[in-house]
Amino acid sequence: MTLPDAFLDIARRVNNWGRWGPDDEIGTLNLITDEVVRAAAATVRSGRRVPLAVPLRQDGVQTGMIPGRVNPLRTMVALNLEMFGPGTIATSDDVVTLGLQAGTHWDGLTHVSHSGRIYNGRPADTVTAHSGAEFSGIEKVSSLVSRGVLLDVAAALGVDRLPGGHAVTPEDLDAAEELAGTKVRAGDIVLVRTGQIQAYLGGDKQAYAYPSPGLSIRTPEWFHARDVAAVANDTLTFEIFPPEVEDLWLPVHGLDLVEMGMLQGQNWNLEGLAAACAEAGRREFWLDATPEPFVGGAGAPVAPVAVL
Amino acid sequence: MTLPDAFLDIARRVNNWGRWGPDDEIGTLNLITDEVVRAAAATVRSGRRVPLAVPLRQDGVQTGMIPGRVNPLRTMVALNLEMFGPGTIATSDDVVTLGLQAGTHWDGLTHVSHSGRIYNGRPADTVTAHSGAEFSGIEKVSSLVSRGVLLDVAAALGVDRLPGGHAVTPEDLDAAEELAGTKVRAGDIVLVRTGQIQAYLGGDKQAYAYPSPGLSIRTPEWFHARDVAAVANDTLTFEIFPPEVEDLWLPVHGLDLVEMGMLQGQNWNLEGLAAACAEAGRREFWLDATPEPFVGGAGAPVAPVAVL
Amino acid sequence: MTLPDAFLDIARRVNNWGRWGPDDEIGTLNLITDEVVRAAAATVRSGRRVPLAVPLRQDGVQTGMIPGRVNPLRTMVALNLEMFGPGTIATSDDVVTLGLQAGTHWDGLTHVSHSGRIYNGRPADTVTAHSGAEFSGIEKVSSLVSRGVLLDVAAALGVDRLPGGHAVTPEDLDAAEELAGTKVRAGDIVLVRTGQIQAYLGGDKQAYAYPSPGLSIRTPEWFHARDVAAVANDTLTFEIFPPEVEDLWLPVHGLDLVEMGMLQGQNWNLEGLAAACAEAGRREFWLDATPEPFVGGAGAPVAPVAVL
Amino acid sequence: MTLPDAFLDIARRVNNWGRWGPDDEIGTLNLITDEVVRAAAATVRSGRRVPLAVPLRQDGVQTGMIPGRVNPLRTMVALNLEMFGPGTIATSDDVVTLGLQAGTHWDGLTHVSHSGRIYNGRPADTVTAHSGAEFSGIEKVSSLVSRGVLLDVAAALGVDRLPGGHAVTPEDLDAAEELAGTKVRAGDIVLVRTGQIQAYLGGDKQAYAYPSPGLSIRTPEWFHARDVAAVANDTLTFEIFPPEVEDLWLPVHGLDLVEMGMLQGQNWNLEGLAAACAEAGRREFWLDATPEPFVGGAGAPVAPVAVL
């Protein structure tokens, strides 16, 4: 079996293999230049900070449907322990087990492969059980700071939350860009709001997981045309799920990560940001979203903060 | 047994309990106002980003001497898995177990207690085995962005790396502040460089761990006088270890975390930053250092990035 | 609030504190003498072995309702890894995270406490976050081999599986003992079959968990009168759940573990054993059920095997 | 590169592929018949039980040299937690992370592969990152009870502990069998004592790990000739390490596990058993050594108990 033309045609158009040389491991992050960062700093006006991470807890967003992607289990290994004797300073320490893609996270470029290949045409089997990703591991990201732009699709379409079956199209992104009042440009980190995370915040994890609105297979070309550095949203699956095209699973993952070499973010809480942006009357901001540098990681948790 | 006057006298002078009200859980982070953040943004000039985290790997900084503080063990739970059938997009996922204080991290305010109390006078037993910290858990930090100032003590004292027995004194901090060319002020995040992490980077974990240069018991007053928001350095123990005063263990932890309510950071790699600052001719910068929001955590990993 | 007389009266009657001296940490396991074991060996007639453990897998019996009691997550840390060079012998290794009480397990004597006490009257706070149980940790069991007797209550009552609301009473145990054709005696390990695990084996974890048939608050006296060494059954909660007496939660746990000092086993698959016993026409056998010796453990997984 | 004739010649002679049919997954465990078990039960004379597991603790036998094979880290997820209200029965629960081969364990048949094959000629890639072993996972063992025979090589050679460089040869096994006073026969579990574990028990983990006495490449034929069911010993590496033949690493693993399909046990504490056997004047006994049934496991912890 091979992937259908519906996928392969777009793949050819958004492919970035070799664009930054045969040794490149970070893809579209190359688009974040010092100049881009300087311009991003200029978007800080009020100094208001908005955190975008969902708190990491055992009752996290995972429902158990994705095997092994376990919610965080944090426990104490020391608890007010007076290790130097009674009456001394006591210490508390904790340890955690979690799926790297369990909470608010970035998918690393090796999170998916297709036809035996990962980004930049490397063999998929360069990811191994014992070492993880030899190339393009999440630690290669090193830093991820740029201008953030909120594309509030829900607001642009006049709803609080997109319905489960809604595929976010290029036209939707156009409308949200219009609402944002700024043109998405090279090196931006784009945050696409669907409102779907309200289901999780409201206590219904199943409804959050499935069915989910999300990015259409047609969006990678939109991001590619604008040379976006990375895209995140407020869903578990990033792309519309179940998929638009029958039997074509995770096509957006394949296009964004493998072909373009562009990081995807999931489970970002964009509710507070949407409110802050609406209040401020602008949807561009400084965004710091550097993932934890797990060596060889196919992804990593991130605690993103927008500064308006 | 009770803590000696050498500790208690300073404790009284740096105590911030009640300063931000009886319900406060974040201590000196209150000092990071919108205005402080706006001013911090103005320090971004070149757009150069310098990551400060040590990569998270099994061969991390921990030597096994601190029970339970285990280095990260990351493994694959899916490896190019074609879960939707042969020839489809394949996924790779990973899971990790790690001590929250194992790598580059922030000590949360509940990381230590003394005399049965944590920050703001709350009972130490509000930290429990099953829930962690009810108050002042690391997730309460929410965001941590401010102006960063590098106090390069090693450089100020004309060495590459301070010797193991060196207690960093207020006088050392003065010298480093002089070198920095900027006054440390309210809301700053101060990074104190000793050069000690060179031992780890050079492959000698034991030498990195012990004996270690670090902050003197006299430094909390220095930070308190300037209303610093948080302090991090490039050692495993933060403070000088073994301690200056016989049988007085971890006094700086007790003063900074419990009395002042000020976060401490450890295992930060400041080598690249020192070089970048020297090159740029200035030691102030934008610093994003938001910890991962583990609910109830006594600390958390962080992937700090300085932007010059 | 204190525990009701319904509990305290029985507690007094089954209490074994001090019976084996003030230093004792294993309770009724003292009843397994060399003589008991010799007699147990004589029950081996056919040599047929019947495993009683539920396989340890991520889709295990836990539903997430008991916080932290996570199902096993086993992953590879080496996968056909030729660590000594190409073409050499390759190794595969795995690592696991699991709740010690997640699968087929023994509750250790410290699994519950009441009124600030654990078995033998020791303070409950001798169990700590960093060290676990100082006394009566599961590793103190050391070995657990004896005669096993199957009390097949479901069969004795003429059903395949007891209904969710069924409290197994002393009268039920009498009937099952009659069916067993042997008198329960000092040092025996008693296995009480309800049939409830059929729900899990049939794929319905929720129905397995709750509501559950289980041992009545009146059974500890029955076991105490016979000086049983340990009791296990085929349910998640061991005792009837929700409880018989309103607002009296886990009374059987309190009586068996704290008062008597008798281990309890849960999630044992007794279906194959019931069939084998019915076939063999006897319900006594050699039973090896030594828990994994986790130091300080409040419980531990066990892979019990009956030999008929 | 291919494996040398020194290996391949023996491989041909001890190969059991197909012996129990093409679908077999348990190899020499097939040799444990009901009759063997009945005879084993007859060896129980005194009823004395001797546990053979090393306690599972963070300060376990692993030194960190084998990546990912982490010592057990057990922590509390509930600590005297009155989850049903103040004054009710309180519960304590724990969770653990450990390498399945970290403590006293059995190597499963998929623990090693060579030339792309595991036991019974199956492709090595039937072991995967997400599912572990599709065939011959450790859970397939189901039960492991038989006659145990202690081959006390150290005692037979008149020493307390064999030196690090000692390869246990067939001649050594002959001498130990002579001392045992019983002939090793089909279906036996053989325990080979070197005394090496004294190093660990005495606190020197490094000396325990390396260099280690262990089984010679010539021993698989000895076990094969006698149709032994399984072999365990008191070392970290099972076979002599570093190896006898230059550049031929883990040959005994390759022969025992891949060719013969015979389980190997490591880190068994045979000191107490040696004393008990010497006292009893016989070295045969009932042995229960059923591994924890981790589905897909390349190995598993075991808490073996000998009954004399």
Per-residue pLDDT reduced to its tens digit, D243-268: 999 889 999 999 999 999 999 999 99
pLDDT score, position A1 = 58
**From the CA of B121, how many Å to the nearest CA of chain D?**
24
How far does D53 lie from chain B, in Å, by closest CA?
Answer: 22
Compare all CA atoms of chain C with the CA of B129 and give the residue at the minimum distance: C129
Which of D65, D66, D73 best probes binding to B when mutated, by most B CB atoms within 10 angstroms?
D73
End-to-end Cα, chain B, rounded Å: 48
Cβ-proximal residues to C278 (8 Å cutoff; 6+ apart), any chain: C155
Question: Three-class SS of residue A199?
Answer: helix
Mean pLDDT of chain D: 97
D73, D75, D110, D127: best to mutate for the A interface, most A CBs within 10 A:
D75
Backbone angles phi and psi of D52, in degrees to 5: -115, 0
Chains B–D, number of C-beta pairs less than 8 Å apart: 41
Rounded to whole angstroms, the maximal C-alpha distance in chain A is 71
Within 8 A of A67 by CB-CB distance, chain C residues are 58
Chain D interface mutation, best of C93, C107, C305, highest count of D Cβ atoms under 10 Å: C93
| Contacting partners of chain C (3+ CB pairs under 8 A) | A, B, D
Cross-chain residue pair D34–C47, CB shorter than 8 Å: yes
pLDDT at B65: 85
Q: Is D149 left (phi over 0), alpha (psi -120 to 50) or beta?
A: beta
Query: For B157, phi and psi rounded to 5 degrees?
Result: -95, 5
A246 touches chain B (CB under 8 A): no
Chain D interface disruption, residue of A74, A75, A77, A126, most D CBs within 10 A:
A75
The answer to whether C130 contacts B67, with C-beta atoms less than 8 Å apart, is yes
Which residue from B68, B75, B97 is facing C76, i.e. has the nearest CB?
A: B75
Q: Which residue in chain B has the smallest CA separation from A77? A: B68
Contact A130 D67 (CB under 8 A): yes
**To the nearest whole angstrom, how far is the Cα of C58 from the nearest Cα of chain A?**
8
Average pLDDT, chain C: 97
pLDDT number for residue A67: 87
Note the pLDDT of residue D2.
82
* Domain residue ranges of chain B, discontinuous segments joined by +: 5-66+100-307
**Residue B141 DSSP SS3:** helix
User: What is the pLDDT confidence band of residue D1, given thresholds at 50, 70 and 90?
Assistant: low
pLDDT of residue A97: 98
**Mean pLDDT on B1-5:** 84
Tokens 């069969």 belong to which residue? C155
Alpha-carbon distance A102 to nearest alpha carbon in chain D (angstroms)? 16
Residue-level pLDDT at A275: 98
Select from B78, B128, B130 the Cβ nearest to the Cβ of D130.
Answer: B78
Strand (E) or helix (H) holding D75: strand D73-81
Q: Which of C197, C202, C223 is nearest to C212 (CA)?
A: C197
CA distance A35 to chain D (A): 42
Beta bridge partners of D178: none
Minimum CA–CA partner of C78 in chain B? B75
Asked if A129 lies within 8 A of C97 by C-beta distance, the reply is no
**Residues B111-155: pLDDT tens digits?**
999 999 999 999 999 999 999 999 999 999 999 999 999 999 999
pLDDT per position as a tens digit, B249-267: 999 999 999 999 999 999 9
Angle, CA of A159, A162 and A163, to the nearest 5°: 120
Neighbours of chain B (3+ CB pairs under 8 A): A, C, D
Confidence check: pLDDT of C67 > 90: no
The helix (H) or strand (E) run that includes residue D49 is: strand D49-51
Per-residue pLDDT tens listing for chain A (308 residues) = 589 999 999 999 999 999 999 999 999 999 999 999 999 999 999 999 999 999 999 999 999 888 899 999 999 999 999 999 999 999 999 999 999 999 999 999 999 999 999 999 999 999 999 999 999 999 999 999 999 999 999 999 999 999 998 999 999 999 999 999 999 999 999 999 999 999 999 999 999 999 999 999 999 999 999 999 999 999 999 999 999 998 999 999 999 999 999 999 999 999 999 999 999 999 999 999 999 999 999 999 999 999 99
Q: What is the DSSP string of chain C?
A: ----HHHHHHHHHH--TTTT-TT--SGGGGG--HHHHHHHHTT--S--EEE-PPPB-TT-S--S-STT-PPPEEEEEEEEE-TT-TTS-EEEEEEEEEETTSSSEEE-TTSEEBTTB-GGG-BGGGEETTTEESSS-GGGG---EEEEEEEEHHHHTT-SS--TT-EE-HHHHHHHHHHHTS---TT-EEEEE-STHHHHHTT-HHHHHSSB-EE-TTHHHHHHHHT-SEEEESSSSSB-BS-SSTT--SHHHIIIIIII--EEEES---HHHHHHHHHHT--EEEEE-PPP-BTT-SEEE---EEE-
Judged by a CB distance cut-off of 8 A, whether residue D70 touches chain B is yes
Specify the CATH superfamily of domain B5-66+100-307. Answer: Putative cyclase (3.50.30.50)
Q: What is the DSSP letter of D291?
A: P
- Closest residue in B to A114 (Cα) is B89
Average pLDDT for residues D9-22, to the nearest whole number?
98
How many A-D residue pairs are in contact by the CB < 8 A criterion? 19
State the pLDDT confidence band at B1, using cuts at 50, 70 and 90: low
Partners of C67 on chain A (C-beta within 8 Å) are 58
C295 CB within 8 Å of a chain D CB: yes
Q: How far is CA C159 from CA C154, C223, D134, in A?
A: 5, 23, 36
D221 in reach of chain C (CB within 8 A): no
Smallest CA–CA distance from A128 into chain C, residue: C79
Parallel/antiparallel/unpaired status of strands C305-307 and C284-288: antiparallel
Q: Cβ–Cβ of C73/A77 closer than 8 Å? A: no
- Does residue D72 or residue C247 have the better pLDDT? D72
What chain C residue is nearest to D113 in terms of C-alpha separation? C90
Q: What is the DSSP letter of D266?
A: E
Say if the ipTM goes beyond 0.90. Answer: yes
Q: Write the pLDDT tens digit of every residue in D136-164.
A: 999 999 999 999 999 999 999 999 999 99
Q: In angstroms, rounded to a whole number, what is the distance separating the alpha carbons of residues C153 and C162?
A: 8
